Each structure stands twice: as structure tokens, then as C-alpha cells.
């Protein structure tokens, strides 16, 4: 039977929409891989660049720090100048910064490259969601599109360890960054053809003070967290905290007073909204911290190769994807809030199991812990995102999106910064260094377990003592992460409503749509 011209046009338009989604999903997949792949490369780049413990933390968290600090600003700029334009500009910058990271000759240059990657990444993430909202005008299609977007983000977490392990097994550590370049070339070519341009035709006045205050809130606080282990509460750390907290208070005050706020802080008056955001941040906090230190544990303490470590971490990331199939059952049986609480409690139990079995190193128990963490965080993150949308009125969908993205990245930043700092501080406080070792060697042993393994003979008593201190620090860090996750479970139980019914039911996200202004 011949199709009518209107049906042919509709089918062509539908294919173009889903092809555009494939481009956007590729961007998110790459950003997620970039978040997880670095943890596997830490041992290799530690041998090559000899970074200090604080530099290792900065290499890990500067990417998410700069990304989180700029998300609100970049989302606002994308609304003003065009999401497609900003996304393609960011993709170009991301590719160039990846080349700089791949061939970084020193730890300082690598930190700079990671900073630039974060700045470029901040232009990509908000643009993808904004474009999805404008490409898919049908509510049912948009829901499926966002589900695919979320799945791509989760799949990146699963692929990161595998891709990183394969590349590190066959190439040098810079390959984990260089792999970004061909993907960004594809994004640029396909995005130029498939993505429509869209922007807010009435964005209001751009508020420079709000932009500056948003960055001055996040950056100094995370700086203080990452540096307190090395310098203690000195004047710089205290000053950074004062600047961060003070800027945050000024930012909130200004958002309440101006007509076109960059971030609608009034949403936090809703206990359900605040509970969902907090639960989501703490979920990502625990998971990001686990990914960061667990790869080092597998390679340094258990002697896994990068590829073996990537495969060993796979059960947890796959579980976080597979659990999507159970979400409907969980919501119908428990309600959203209680289902989120159950997921967080399961994640806490997994972290506790990892902590309890880290000393023995029996992989079966470690894998069981990873599966529990993956199932729990996958369930809680997915439903917390839905709860955040449900707790806000439809007209504020844009502000909700900005808050969600910022909270997600802040969870990654704090997970690496806080738990990484705790791991380093615990190791330094417990490691025993033989007095007979030269002073320079003693300093490297105390600095971090990674640097200790570069100067100590494997199997020596000093190396064994350093390994015991490192495993003890892993256990302490995992137990504290478990306690925080359990606290988030209690918070979700109390604050997030739990009406039982169809999964994913929420108010329609209509409101005022932005105008699509061309290809």
C-alpha cells in the first residue's frame, strides 16, 4: 500500500528526530565514560607523571568541579545564543582539550587540560537536555527520549572501565583521553546536519553578578575540601570556606530578588523537592567516590591489570542499568519515596560489604557488594530524578533541569573530593614508615600509596605496611560512605511522597516551549 505524502513526511521527521537523539546520546555517553575512565588510569599516570596525593585528587575532581560550577552559566548562555551552536562549540573545545590531556608532560598540565575539559563539558550537558525538550514535542516521545538519554549516561559508566582497561592494556595512559577526538568529530559532523537550532527568544537580561556568584560558591568550597588534608585548617582554607559560603548566601539572596533568576531557589521550599535533590546528590556522592578509590584498590592492593580491574568493576555498573526493569514494580509496590529509600539502603549495604571484605580481597564478596551498590544507586538515582520533576510545577521545568544537572555534577565533585581526601588522610595517619629509609623516600611513602609503590620494593616489609594502611583507609572510607548513604535513605523515606501507582507518573511538563529557529 502506498503511503500518503503526509505520512512519508512524518516518518522522515521521526527518523530525523531519533537520529538527532543518537547524536545527543553519544555526547552524554562520552561525558559519562570520561567521568569513570580516569580512575583506571591513575596508577599508570602516577608512574609517568609522579603526581602528589593532592594532584591526584585535582586530576580527578577538577573536571567535575569546573563542569558543575559552570553548568548554570553555560545553560543560560545556550538559551541566549542557541543550544546547537553552544553544543558544537563545546564539542570542538572538548576534542582539543582531550589532545592536550593525552600528551600532558606534567601533572600540572594534565590538571589544566582536565579543567578545560570540564569547561567544554559544561557547554555540552545542558544543551543536550534542552535540545531534547525542543526536538521531542510529544510528551510520550519526550519521555522515551529522556529515558534513552539517561540510559546512555548509565551505559557510559559501564563502558568506562572496559574501554579504559583495554586502552591501558595496549597503549599508554594518554589513550583514554585521545579516544575522545574521533567521537567528537562524529558529533560535529552529524550534529551540524541533524540538530535543529533553538534558543529562548525572550531570555531577559543576563545577570553577571549571578554568574560570578554561582562560580564563587562552588569552587572555593571544593578547593578547601581537597586541600585541607595537605595543609590543615590554615588561613587559605578558612578563607576559601568563608568566600564560598558567603557567595552562596549572596547568590540565593540575589536569585530571590531579580526578575529572571539563573537558578530558581524557591523550588527548595518544597520538602519533597529538597529531599529528592539531597538523596540524588548523596547517591552520586557515594558511587563516584567508590569508583574513584575502588580502581586504585584493585590495581594497587590486589595487583589487577587495568583491563582486569575494568572487568572486575563491570557487575556494579551493569546492575545499575539492569535495575531499570524493576523500577515499575518497585514504585507500584512501595511508592516512589520508599523505593528510593530501599535503593539507598541497598547501596549502603553493598558499601558495607565491600568494606568488610576488602582486607581478604575475595572477589566473590567484592562483586556481590558492587552488584548491591549498582542495583541500589541505579534504582535511587532514576527515581530521585523523577521525584525532582514531580515535586516542581511544570512552568519551572527549565530551572529544575539546571538544578538536577548541577546537583549531579556536584555529587561527583564532592564524592571524589571528600572521600578521596578522607582516604588520603586516613592512609597518612596510619601508615608506618621504617626510620631507616631516606627522608625523600619516607616523604613519598607518606604522601600516598601510589607514590609509595614507586619507591618501595614489592614484598618488602615497608611495602606491606603501606598496603595494610591503604586497605584500612579503603575500609574506613567505604564505611563512612555507607553511613552517609543510609542517612540519605532515611531522608528519602521521610521527605519524598510515596503514592503507589504507575511508575513515572508526574505532572505534564508543558509550560512555555522555546522556539525552534532552524537547522
The CA-based dihedral angle spanning residues 50, 56, 62, 63, taken in that order and rounded to the nearest 10 degrees:
80
| 3 has a pLDDT exceeding 50 | no
Q: Report the pLDDT value the prediction gives residue 250, as an integer from 0 to 100.
A: 94
pTM of the model: 0.71
The better pLDDT of the pair 6, 258 is held by 258
pLDDT band at 229 (very low <50, low <70, confident <90, very high): low
Q: Report the pLDDT value the prediction gives residue 5, as an integer from 0 to 100.
A: 40
The better pLDDT of the pair 505, 429 is held by 429
Average per-residue pLDDT for the chain? 79
pLDDT band at 230 (very low <50, low <70, confident <90, very high): low
Helices (H), 197-305: 208-231, 235-257, 271-296
Over residues 215-224, the pLDDT tens digits come to 888 778 877 7
Q: Report the pLDDT value the prediction gives residue 147, as an integer from 0 to 100.
A: 61
Q: Report the pLDDT value the prediction gives residue 506, as an integer from 0 to 100.
A: 45
Over residues 367-385, the pLDDT tens digits come to 999 999 888 888 887 777 7
- In this structure, the chain runs to a length of 519
The better pLDDT of the pair 346, 306 is held by 346
Q: Are 306 and 161 in contact (CB under 8 A)?
A: no
pLDDT band at 151 (very low <50, low <70, confident <90, very high): low
Mean pLDDT of 411-436: 81
pLDDT band at 8 (very low <50, low <70, confident <90, very high): very low
Q: Report the pLDDT value the prediction gives residue 328, as an integer from 0 to 100.
A: 74
For residue 508, how many other CB atoms are within 10 A of its CB? 8
pLDDT band at 393 (very low <50, low <70, confident <90, very high): low
Q: Report the pLDDT value the prediction gives residue 154, as an integer from 0 to 100.
A: 61
Over residues 276-291, the pLDDT tens digits come to 888 888 887 887 777 7
Q: Are 244 and 218 in contact (CB under 8 A)?
A: yes
The better pLDDT of the pair 18, 36 is held by 18
Cα torsion 160, 275, 121, 246: sign? negative
For residue 393, how many other CB atoms are within 10 A of its CB? 12
Question: Residue 87: enclosing H or E segment and its boundaries?
Answer: helix 83-102
Q: Are 431 and 445 in contact (CB under 8 A)?
A: yes
CA distances from 427 to 468, 470, 478 (A): 9, 5, 13
Mean pLDDT of 110-121: 90
pLDDT band at 402 (very low <50, low <70, confident <90, very high): low
Q: Are 53 and 63 in contact (CB under 8 A)?
A: no
What phi and psi values does residue 515 have, to the nearest 5 degrees?
-90, 135
- Concatenate the DSSP letters of all residues of 90-130 into one string: HHHHHHHHHHHHHT-SSHHHHHHHHHHHHHHHHHHHHHHHH
Mean pLDDT of 346-365: 92
Mean pLDDT of 87-109: 91
Mean pLDDT of 381-406: 66
| 190 has a pLDDT exceeding 60 | yes
Q: Report the pLDDT value the prediction gives residue 254, as an integer from 0 to 100.
A: 92
| 512 has a pLDDT exceeding 60 | no
| 508 has a pLDDT exceeding 60 | no
Q: Report the pLDDT value the prediction gives residue 500, as an integer from 0 to 100.
A: 63
What is the Cα–Cα distance from 11 to 147, expressed in whole angstroms?
21
Over residues 294-305, the pLDDT tens digits come to 877 887 788 887
Amino acid at each position: 500500500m502506498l503511503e500518503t505524502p503526509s505520512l512519508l513526511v512524518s516518518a522522515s521527521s521521526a527518523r530525523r528526530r531519533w537520529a538527532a537523539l543518537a547524536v545527543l546520546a553519544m555526547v552524554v555517553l562520552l561525558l559519562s565514560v570520561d567521568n569513570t575512565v580516569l580512575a583506571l588510569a591513575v596508577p599508570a599516570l602516577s608512574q609517568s607523571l609522579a603526581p602528589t596525593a593532592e594532584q591526584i585528587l585535582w586530576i580527578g575532581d577538577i573536571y567535575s568541579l569546573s563542569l558543575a560550577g559552570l553548568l548554570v552559566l553555560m545553560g543560560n548562555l545556550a538559551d541566549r545564543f542557541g543550544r546547537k551552536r553552544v553544543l558544537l562549540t563545546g564539542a570542538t573545545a572538548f576534542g582539543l582539550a582531550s589532545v592536550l590531556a593525552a600528551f600532558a608532560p606534567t601533572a600540572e598540565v594534565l590538571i589544566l587540560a582536565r579543567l578545560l575539559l570540564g569547561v567544554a563539558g559544561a557547554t555540552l550537558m545542558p544543551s543536550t537536555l534542552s535540545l531534547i525538550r525542543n526536538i521531542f514535542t510529544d510528551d510520550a516521545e519526550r519521555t522515551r527520549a529522556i529515558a534513552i538519554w539517561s540510559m546512555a549516561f548509565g551505559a557510559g559508566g559501564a563502558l568506562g572501565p572496559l574501554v579504559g582497561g583495554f586502552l591501558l592494556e595496549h597503549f599508554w595512559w594518554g589513550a583514554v583521553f585521545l579516544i575522545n577526538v574521533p567521537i567528537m568529530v562524529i558529533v560535529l559532523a552529524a550534529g551540524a546536519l541533524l540538530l535543529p537550532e533553538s534558543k529562548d527568544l525572550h531570555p531577559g537580561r543576563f545577570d553577571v553578578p549571578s554568574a560570578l556568584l554561582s562560580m564563587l560558591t562552588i569552587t572555593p568550597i571544593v578547593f578547601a575540601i581537597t586541600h585541607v588534608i595537605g595543609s590543615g585548617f590554615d588561613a587559605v582554607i578558612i578563607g576559601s570556606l568563608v568566600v564560598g559560603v558567603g557567595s552562596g548566601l549572596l547568590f540565593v539572596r540575589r536569585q530571590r530578588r531579580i526578575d529572571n533568576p539563573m537558578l530558581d531557589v524557591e523550588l527548595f521550599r518544597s520538602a519533597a523537592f529538597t529531599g529528592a535533590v539531597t538523596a540524588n546528590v548523596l547517591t552520586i556522592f557515594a558511587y563516584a567516590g567508590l569508583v574513584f578509590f575502588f580502581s586504585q584498590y584493585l590495581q594497587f592492593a590486589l595487583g589487577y591489570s587495568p583491563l582486569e580491574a575494568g572487568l572486575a568493576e563491570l557487575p556494579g555498573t551493569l546492575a545499575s542499568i539492569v535495575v531499570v526493569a524493576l523500577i515499575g514494580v518497585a514504585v507500584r509496590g512501595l511508592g516512589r519515596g520508599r523505593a528510593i529509600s530501599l535503593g539507598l539502603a541497598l547501596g549502603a549495604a553493598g558499601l558495607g560489604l565491600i568494606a568488610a571484605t576488602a582486607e581478604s580481597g575475595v572477589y566473590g564478596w567484592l562483586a556481590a557488594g558492587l552488584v548491591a551498590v549498582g542495583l541500589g544507586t541505579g534504582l535511587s538515582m532514576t527515581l530521585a530524578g523523577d521525584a525532582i520533576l514531580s515535586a516542581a510545577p511544570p512552568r519551572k521545568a527549565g530551572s529544575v533541569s539546571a538544578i538536577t544537572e548541577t546537583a549531579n555534577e556536584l555529587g561527583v565533585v564532592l564524592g571524589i573530593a571528600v572521600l578521596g581526601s578522607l582516604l588520603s588522610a586516613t592512609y597518612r595517619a596510619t601508615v608506618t614508615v621504617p626510620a631507616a629509609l631516606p627522608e625523600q623516600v619516607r616523604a613519598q611513602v607518606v604522601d600516598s600509596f601510589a607514590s609509595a609503590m614507586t619507591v618501595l620494593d614489592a614484598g618488602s616489609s615497608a611495602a606491606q605496611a603501606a598496603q595494610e594502611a591503604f586497605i584500612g583507609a579503603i575500609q574506613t572510607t567505604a564505611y563512612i560512605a555507607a553511613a552517609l548513604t543510609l542517612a540519605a535513605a532515611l531522608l528519602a523515606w521521610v521527605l519524598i511522597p510515596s503514592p503507589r501507582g504507575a511508575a513515572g507518573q508526574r505532572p505534564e511538563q508543558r509550560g512555555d516551549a522555546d522556539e525552534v529557529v532552524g537547522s
